[in-house]
Amino acid sequence: MDFVNFAKEYSKIFINFDSLTDKSLIKYFDGIHFPSIYIKDLKNLKKIFPNKIFITSTHSFKEANNAIISDYITFSPIFDSKERKGLGIETLNKICNFHPRVIALGGIVSENELEKIKNSKAIGFASIRYFYS
């Protein structure tokens, strides 16, 4: 728990909902990340975890709209990513028009994509390949 206390001093700690097998551990986390399959259950989940920050993965306008109850959403893929076709900056900005806290994901591999994200309405981005390629 030393790591948890250290991390909480400088950041927020989230757990993926699918990894939360022991619900009593939720007290150690500031929030929960929900894969898009849980969008239909978010209202009930807010009742179960009322004081936790919710982040929900979305991949379409419909999912983003249905996840409006979430404190944050991720939206992906913005750029072509592996076998998936990117949805583009214009689509990202449209999503940002109705959800105030959108984190861009997908296909962010270089300064080129990062610059486009910086100029978008997204509040930030997340990427694995950008940092490890």
pLDDT in tens, 61-118: 999 999 999 999 999 999 998 888 999 999 999 999 999 999 999 999 999 999 999 9
Does 8 have pLDDT greater than 80?
A: no
Cα dist from 36 to 1, 41, 130, whole Å: 30, 10, 23
What's the confidence (pLDDT) of residue 9?
74
Residue 11's pLDDT is 83
Which DSSP letter does residue 80 get? Answer: -
pLDDT of residue 122: 97
pLDDT band per the 50, 70, 90 thresholds, residue 47: very high
Mean pLDDT throughout 124-132? 88
Q: What is the CATH number of domain 35-132?
A: 3.20.20.70
**129 falls in which pLDDT band (50, 70, 90)?**
confident
Q: The whole model's pTM is what?
A: 0.88
Measured distance between the N- and C-terminal CA atoms of the chain, rounded to whole angstroms = 32
Per-residue model confidence (pLDDT) at position 1: 58
Q: Which of 20, 60, 23, 58 is nearest to 38 (CA)?
A: 58
Q: How far apart are CA 23 and CA 34, in angstroms?
A: 14
Across residues 19-24, what is the average pLDDT?
90
CA-nearest of 123, 109, 43 to 81 is 109
